[in-house]
């Protein structure tokens, strides 16, 4: 796997204190290749014990809820502020002027 190889090269460069900029480029490429491989495998379905584990109903439900929170978390505070006139989180965290 090319992704694991790139991550291995990054670890080797970091251990030798060499190639900081190129090392991070290699790390990003390796992480992207590895993540792409996981998405590709997930699209066709995992088999074996990992596939059985990922098909457990509570785990599927948890993934659905957490993905929903991920999708909505950016614009819900703005929507609540505009429609219900509730203070935003930045208003609540703002320190009072002394």
- Residue 68's domain comprises 47-86
Number of domains in the chain: 2
- What digits encode the pLDDT tens for the residues 45-64? 888 998 888 889 999 999 99
Q: Cβ distance 10 to 27 under 8 Å?
A: yes
39, 68: one domain: no
40, 51: one domain: no
- What digits encode the pLDDT tens for the residues 81-97? 788 887 777 777 776 66
- What digits encode the pLDDT tens for the residues 16-39? 777 677 777 788 888 888 888 888
Assign 98 a pLDDT band (cuts: 50, 70, 90).
low
Instruction: Tell me whether residue 67 is in a domain.
Output: yes
């Amino acid at each position: 796997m090319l992704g694991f190889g790139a991550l291995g090269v990054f670890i080797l460069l970091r251990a030798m204190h060499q190639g900081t900029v190129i090392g991070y480029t290699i790390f990003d490429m390796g992480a992207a290749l590895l993540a792409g491989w996981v998405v590709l495998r997930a699209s066709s379905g995992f088999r074996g014990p990992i596939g059985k584990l990922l098909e457990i109903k509570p785990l599927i439900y948890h993934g659905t809820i957490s993905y929903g929170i991920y999708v909505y978390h950016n614009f819900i505070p703005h929507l609540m502020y505009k429609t219900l006139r509730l203070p935003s989180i930045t208003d609540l965290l703002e320190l009072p002027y002394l």
